[in-house]
Structure 1
């Protein structure tokens, strides 16, 4: 779930996000490119007008007003990109996990000898790294009950 926010955003990131969401909103309402570009330039001018503001109280008020304006003008049917969460193609292409290659038939593996030789080397390196990092696993029969 990479779309979930897991860290605090800087002020700069918040402003950029607000600007992009504003552009997306304009894009949803204005279907003709020339109308969209004109209003996008006006939006950018509005952001540029306050870019050198140093009074953080005023900046916070501007951000709150802009967020409210964006929320109050939200589109009734927001645009969703196909591969984004909620889109029609989200999760459609499933990337198989690496362990699937372990179950290939030897004749299938023989068609790609260099790849599978390198893969076996890397698996051995990974097992060596794992054992050095976390220790050797206990044998199954040595567990005390």
Structure 2
């Protein structure tokens, strides 16, 4: 049930982003790019923060399932990413398709790493003040 609840919220947030930044033919898909990058950061931070606080049981497991699997899983979108790359190439914009694919993957990995770093720093700083 918690995965479902997180998924509902993640889907609504992704829909809002796609409405705010709709993909136009031949243009960089800003909405999908942003949700995937933000989602990578959030997931990196969430999982690192949880693992540094203890084993994946009880409340931490519910948070991971709700926010990680549910929200981030529904918020981010590999299917739209793949479709947009295909459409860009098919519509005569192969250079944008290739750059979009490469930048999305590279920036996504960097965003996840930044999320991990932020969580480590946050947990470390919280420990210094405890």
**TM-score calculated relative to the size of structure 1:** 0.26
Q: Which has the higher helix share?
A: 2
Higher relative contact order (CA 8 A, sep 6+): 2
**TM-score calculated relative to the size of structure 2:** 0.28
